[in-house]
Amino acid sequence: MPEVPDEKPPPTVTPGRVIIALCLLAPFVTLLWVGSYAKIEPTFIGIPFFYWYQMLWVPVSAVLTMTAYQLWKRDQRSREGGASK
Amino acid sequence: MKDGVNGVALAVFIFFFVAVTVMGFLAARWRKAANENSLDEWGLGGRSFGTWVTWFLLGGDLYTAYTFVAVPAAIYAAGAAGFFAVPYTILVYPLIFTFLPRLWSVSHKHGYVTTSDFVRGRFGSKGLSLAVAVTGILATMPYIALQLVGIQAVLDVMGVGGGENTHWFIKDLPLLIAFGVLAAYTYSSGLRAPALIAFVKDTLIYIVIIVAIIYIPIKLGGFDDIFAKAGDAFAQTNPATGQPRGSLAPGEAGQWGYATLALGSALALFMYPHSITATLSSRSREVIRRNTTILPLYSLMLGLLALLGFMAIAAGVKVDNGQLAIPQLFETMFPDWFAGVAFAAIGIGALVPAAIMSIAAANLFTRNIYKDFIRPDATPAQETKVSKLVSLLVKVGALVFVLTMDKTVAINFQLLGGIWILQTMPALVGGLFTRWFHRWALLAGWAVGMVYGTAAAYGVASPTQAHFGGSSKEIPGLGEIGYIGLTAFVLNVVVTVALTFVLRAVKAPEGTDETSPSDYTADAGDPGVKTELPAPTSGGPGGH
């Protein structure tokens, strides 16, 4: 599955787009690597690490997607004109 | 549960239910368009919803009553393994950020109402489109049935529905009334009804979760105590398996299963017809991208909800049927009136997705079976009429399913549905990015995935069931336990790619593609994309 939304016909790799891809890819790497967080300690207000760490990733991932969205809008604006229609 | 009817809770529950029913019928007049006899109006709410309505609608649609009951129930039963729902719903959003806007654009441009419409237009193949449509309907039906299971759990705990010896009609009467009302306003208001009710549903859910997550731990002596008690309970040996009941963190052996289940479910979620229906009803592609950044609030809520499973253990809730754990926890911990609010939240939580699912299934039938195979010359008004009727039939089917068969049958089918719906992903998401895949190869890949997934799931035994005992099995060649749906999906892709090479080499006919590259990035306001489409007929069968 292509992670970079290569929407325009000539898909060029720009630093901005690499960052977009990384923002979208990061949650997959961290959350699918279950071994990295399958433990009890350290607990947070009594909640085992396994649970609060994954819940922490909800806002983190939302911020990453938001960053990708903003970068994408900027990317589109800079391409306006040459790539429309 | 066994000590009669909880009058106060029931009164509060009925109050909200009646309020929502009135809203459901009034919804027909909300944002009403001139041309109400088109599938775009009835089945997609006129494709007019902005960011917040879409947020409530998608949230109300994806986080169903069954989710509210089943996720904490899984935690209550086995601990850590049930928490996969959290990474699953986190991964969904970056994923759909990449492909849903493209689907929105091409659907708007060509008047597609369903995913099968797109597949037919993209690959020029009615066969492939039929496969996608049938898969969608099959996967959705048991999902609707499970919403009923959610309502039943609440009714049971409130003491409504009588004991084992009550006449079946009296016992099921509350459920029949709830579903009759639901069917009536879905019929008259279409997608506008669940969109409006979703506001009430989600507001109630958020209030209940916030109160529960603060109030219950205080009453139980804090999270330290809760997790200590849960840890003790999980360490006890389960007589059926001879192994500990569960654990607070997954061991080595469970990690592959956890990750593949999260990934596979995330990939599958937006293949479901009801997710797509809610998406296509939004006003612009920006609405969708913006929503991927605010929908995670629901994931947070789901995570907190999952923790209630531990609280049920710590509070000493003892139920044979895990699905009753959370409603029972609410009844034990909350004052009666607030328990009523919580039950109403779950009950209404069942109505919103059930309405959207039945609309989505009805749209699939109308567009991709009725119009493609039975009445190619159907007018938009006829399409709408058929869709309305089918939405009724689908609900009656789900009701019969739940009332006549054992609940486990619905759960088994829902498990299968998740495996099945994932097999439509290569055609749909693949098709959104490339036309390289050959239509026949996609069909063959789909068939292989379906057969493997079904056979593998059939072969899974659990202490209580000989077949369909779970959704995970050893991954061939890897030796790890993983989600069957994801294994079937990989198999599906391998077959699709291999056959595409073969079919391209022998120059098999490719079919006509009625879309053009610019269709995938079109936004509302662009030439040829109207913000409100008058009739969904522009992408007729075999059109070009």
Residue B439 belongs to a domain: no
Distance from CA of A1 to the nearest CA of B (A): 8
CB nearest to A38's CB, from B255, B263, B296:
B255
Residue B158 belongs to a domain: yes
Residue B201 belongs to a domain: yes
Residue A4 belongs to a domain: no
Are the beta carbons of A5 and B517 separated by less than 8 Å? no
Residue B507 belongs to a domain: no
SS3 B190: coil
Q: Any bridge partners for residue B247, and if so which?
A: B79
Q: What is the pLDDT of residue B233?
A: 86
Q: Which domain holds residue B391?
A: 7-405
Residue A1 belongs to a domain: no
- Cis amide leading into A9 (omega within 30): no
Q: Which domain holds residue A25?
A: 15-79
Residue written as tokens 């010896």?
B165
Q: Which chain A residue shows the shortest CA-CA distance from B94?
A: A24
Which chain B residues are within 8 Å of A11, Cβ to Cβ?
A: none
Residue A84 belongs to a domain: no
Structure confidence at residue A1 as a pLDDT band (50, 70, 90): very low
Distance from CA of A14 to the nearest CA of B (A): 17
Contact B223/A at CB under 8 A: yes
Total number of domains in chain B: 1
Q: What is the pLDDT of residue B375?
A: 86
What pTM did the predictor assign?
0.86
Total number of domains in chain A: 1
Residue A21 belongs to a domain: yes
Residue A9 belongs to a domain: no
Residue A5 belongs to a domain: no
Q: What is the pLDDT of residue B377?
A: 85
Residue B455 belongs to a domain: no
Here the CATH number for the domain that contains residue B176 is 1.20.1730.10
Kindly report, residue by residue over B344-361, the tens digit of the pLDDT.
Answer: 988 888 888 888 899 899
Tell me phi and psi for residue B472, to 5 degrees. -120, 145
Q: Which chain B residue shows the shortest CA-CA distance from A59?
A: B296
Residue B444 belongs to a domain: no
Closest CA to B363 of B39, B64, B25, B55: B39
Q: What is chain B's length?
A: 544
Ranges of chain B whose pLDDT falls below 70: 1-4, 31-36, 161-168, 239-242, 524-544
CB nearest to B93's CB, from A1, A39, A61:
A61
Kindly report, residue by residue over B30-78, the tens digit of the pLDDT.
Answer: 766 666 677 788 878 778 888 888 888 888 888 887 788 888 888 888 8
Kindly report, residue by residue over B222-279, the tens digit of the pLDDT.
Answer: 888 888 888 888 888 776 666 777 788 888 778 888 899 899 999 999 899 989 988 8
Kindly report, residue by residue over A15-26, the tens digit of the pLDDT.
Answer: 888 999 999 999
Residue B431 belongs to a domain: no
CB proximity under 8 Å: B 229-268 to A: 248-252, 255-256, 258-259, 262-263
Which amino acid, residue B320? D
Residue B500 belongs to a domain: no
CB atoms within 10 A of CB B508: 15
